[in-house]
Amino acid sequence: MAAQGMPDLSNAIVAQDEMGRPFIIVRDQGKKQRKHGIEATKSHILAARSVASIVKTSLGPRGLDKILISQDGDITITNDGATILTQMDLDNQIAKLLVELSRSQDDEIGDGTTGVVVLASALLDQALELIEKGIHPIKIANGFDEACKIAIDQLDKVADVVPIEDESYLLKAAKTSLGSKIVSKSHDHFSQMAVDAVMAVADLERKDVDFELIKIEKKVGGSIEDSLLIKGVLLDKDFSHPQMPKQVKDCKIAILTCPFEPPKPKTKHKLDISTVEEFKLLQEYETKKFQEMIDLVKQSEANVVACQWGFDDEANHLLLSNGLNAIRWIGGSELELLAIATNGRIVPRFEDLSPEKLGSAGIVRELEFGTTRDRMLVIEDCSNSKAVTCFIRGSNEMITAEGVRALHDSLCVVRNLIRDNRVVYGGGAAELTCSLAVSEAADKQKGIDQYAFRAFASALDTIPMTLAENSGLDPIETLSHLKSKQVNENSSRLGVDCLGKGTNDMKELFVIDPYIGKRQQLLLATQLTRMILKINDVIISGKDEY
């Protein structure tokens, strides 16, 4: 009765009874995977490394895109770190942590999602070497924390304040973030769009930008340069009746949340119609209702009706014959945006319509695209400019989707600058100066922290090195050259000249990043490293069989 039928206990929690037979303490031991001690830490680091190596080549203006095919065959082409990682559907736990890392950078800052993953894996790589030397993982993590503080102090020191009133700086920052994206050939256009959009909705006093007010719409067709910013609202709808005029000027818009139908009680009800007279009465009642509704709209002097629900055919006809343009089936959030943009009030029933509740817009027109019969409605010259729509065009679905992501990144960059108007220089310049500061501080440390500091410094070097590599430069040569230059010229603005413009001065090239974005990258990467280093035991339950 020895080993037969026994589950595989080679890596489970095992105890033996007095006869030397192993017995089970934890449910489903055989199916559980277990890793222990340094072995676990090492395998985590390897997992992190392989994740980072996937996104590594997307870093920087010369970074390459990835093509991702989902299970349903949808294709995404992107070089946005967060998007790549989320769509990869990873199974490894540590890899999932890295995905969350880039996602939280995305949520908070919106840019630098690739950089943070590369940095975290570089830190782990360095930690691996130290662990092999026999240093306690938590001591390494503590050292990294200290080093991170120094790096952030250095960032503080070298950060430049830019006047956000001057749009040119915002434009440059937006341009930096677009540098690596597919839209980079029209990045002037896109960065202008991003800056205009954010400035239109920004509350400069509270330093708050509500992204709910910026809507991004995409439509396949045309080229990426045809993308435009609409100071108003764009609805993917058309007028309810094909014969309505395609353009209305000086609009008064009635925004309704009730259907153009005879009102119905919400309580369950039943109407027995037993005679022809009654049926006629009902019909009369309905016609009367429609007429009443139209009259109420007319009385309020509205000339456009925007409705959340549908219309009865009869109502539609009546609207046309009364010269009212109407839009139906507008979604709740779009309706809200429309109300905000036009300063109108959302009206729940016809009786409540009054002239002061109407929204006003300079022009409502129908856009027609190419030869397809697709139409969209543009509502412009609204009384409240605090609602804008970015309309992205592109030759195929993938490009428009990537355009939306790129625009989102640059919107975030501009918003971050409005929140905190300090900038650091890109192209790896900020990482280099931090690396120099940390390695200088390393020699002043007592004890094991020295090693951790040096490791942190070399991890920071990974960013400029990767940039150089992706741009086809010799990474080591570029790095050493830049380092010596930064020290000799005592300038923190020198970075990798990715595009071969002939200078390393990032200020001249206008490659700037928001300070809070960089700071966040450092902090998040260090904290995640700590978390991974601290794990020394992994228990994975078997998947349920059924």
The set of catalytic residues is 80, 113-114, 409
Its sign, for the CA torsion 21, 25, 28, 32, is: negative
Q: Which of 42, 10, 205, 214 is nearest to 130 (CA)?
A: 42
Q: Classify the phi-psi angles of 364: left when phi > 0, otherwise alpha if psi is within -120 to 50, otherwise beta.
A: beta
Coil, strand, or helix at residue 3? Answer: coil
- 112 is a contact residue toward other proteins (CB under 8 A): no
Among 349, 355, 383, 501, which residue sits at the site for other proteins (rule: CB under 8 A)?
A: 349
Coil, strand, or helix at residue 326? Answer: strand
Least CB distance to other proteins at residue 39 (A): 13
Give CA–CA dist 412/6, Å, rounded: 57
- 514 is a contact residue toward other proteins (CB under 8 A): no
- 424 is a contact residue toward other proteins (CB under 8 A): no
Least CB distance to other proteins at residue 501 (A): 34
Among 345, 375, 481, 485, which residue sits at the site for other proteins (rule: CB under 8 A)?
A: 345
Nearer to other proteins, 149 or 317 (CB): 149
Question: In whole angstroms, how far apart are CA 354 and each of 301, 302, 316, 359?
Answer: 8, 9, 21, 11
- 1 is a contact residue toward other proteins (CB under 8 A): yes
Q: Which of 66, 17, 145 is nearest to 453 (CA)?
A: 145
Among 168, 322, 484, 541, which residue sits at the site for other proteins (rule: CB under 8 A)?
A: 541
Least CB distance to other proteins at residue 365 (A): 24
Least CB distance to other proteins at residue 141 (A): 8
Nearer to other proteins, 285 or 329 (CB): 285
Residue count, binding to other proteins (CB under 8 A): 87
Among 8, 74, 188, 278, which residue sits at the site for other proteins (rule: CB under 8 A)?
A: 278
Span from 49-57, 98-106, 483-491, 507-515 in contact with other proteins (CB under 8 A): 98-106
Distance of CA 536 to the CA centre of its chain: 33
| Residues within window 180-219 making contact with other proteins, judged by CB under 8 A | 208, 210, 212-213
145 backbone dihedrals φ, ψ, rounded to 5°: -60, -45
| Pattern 36-65, other proteins, x by CB under 8 A | -x--x-------------------------
- 309 is a contact residue toward other proteins (CB under 8 A): no
Which string of DSSP letters, residue by residue, matches 167-178? HHHHHHHHHHHH
| Residues within window 114-153 making contact with other proteins, judged by CB under 8 A | 136-139, 141-142, 145
Element containing residue 305 per DSSP (H, E)? strand 304-307
Least CB distance to other proteins at residue 359 (A): 11
Burial group, residue 410, by CB count within 10 angstroms (0-12, 13-18, 19+): buried
